[in-house]
Amino acid sequence: MHNLDAQFIISNSTVAGCPPPTLPEYAFIGRSNVGKSSLINMMVGNKKLAKTSGTPGKTQLINHFIIEQQWYLVDLPGYGFAKVSKTQRASWTKMIKDYLEQRQNLLCLFVLLDVRLEPQKIDLEFMQWIGKNGLPFAMVFTKSDKLSGSKVDQHVAAYKRSMLKDWAELPPYFVTSSETGKGREELVDFIRQLNRDFKN
């Protein structure tokens, strides 16, 4: 699969500062250090597009990238364990909430989940909130190269069981690895299908 033409457009801290909502948009979010920037770079085939860091909480703004001049990819700040002040965390929370509630062209929110871990309360609660607000989302399991295939299947199954306690049906989900490229084609194909629906 060829690399995608991807260009950074703008970083900002308010929805008002985002590009005009004329193109379909996809946002990526997850707990701090879940591998968000690495996944974005793997998807487009450019290791330097989104800044990666070993320090949780590196992404602190709403970052817009334009892909193939046809759709926006948005890197949102992580939630959870980043070592920042309560004030900073509160401002991130408000910024993310405003963006998710107000951005009309957001077609899907990709929630990243570390497949090495058992279902995390913070992730389950966040997905509950998304569901209550009627936002379309998909689950993206990251770091699948760190486990055997059978372990990956077990952990994904555990997430499904946890989700089905509260959900009538599961959202779409993808198993990925930024190291091996696993899941790349499936994610890009999913986005392209939504783009076609958006145009029609």
CATH of the domain at 47: 3.40.50.300
Q: Which domain holds residue 186?
A: 6-199
The closest of 104, 108, 117 to 29, measured between CA atoms, is 108
What secondary structure does DSSP assign to 45-84, as a single string? T-TTSSPP-SSTT---SEEEEEETTTEEEEEPPPBS----
Q: What is the pLDDT of residue 53?
A: 53
The closest of 93, 76, 139, 146 to 112, measured between CA atoms, is 139
Q: List Cα–Cα distances, 139 to 2, 27, 68, 112, 172, in angstroms.
A: 24, 12, 24, 6, 6
Structure tokens at 156: 């994904």
Q: What is the pLDDT of residue 83?
A: 61
Residue 168 lies in a domain: yes
Residue with tokens 């970052």: 63
Buried/exposed code over 161-180 (b: 16+ C-beta within 10 A; e: otherwise): ebbeeeeeeebebbbbbbee
Q: With contact defined as beta carbons under 8 Å apart, do 70 and 195 qualify?
A: yes
Q: List Cα–Cα distances, 134 to 83, 106, 128, in angstroms.
A: 30, 12, 10
Query: For residues 145 and 80, what is the distance between their CA atoms, to the nearest angstrom?
Result: 23
Q: With contact defined as beta carbons under 8 Å apart, do 100 and 109 qualify?
A: yes
Residue 130 lies in a domain: yes
Q: What is the pLDDT of residue 54?
A: 53
Chunk the chain into consecutive blocks of 10 residues (it has 200) and report each block's average pLDDT, rounded to whole numbers.
92 93 96 90 92 58 94 88 66 87 96 96 92 95 97 96 92 97 98 93
Q: What is the pLDDT of residue 79?
A: 79
What pTM did the predictor assign?
0.92
Q: With contact defined as beta carbons under 8 Å apart, do 58 and 52 qualify?
A: yes
Residue 54 lies in a domain: yes
Residue 1 lies in a domain: no
Domain count, the chain: 1
Q: What is the pLDDT of residue 81?
A: 53
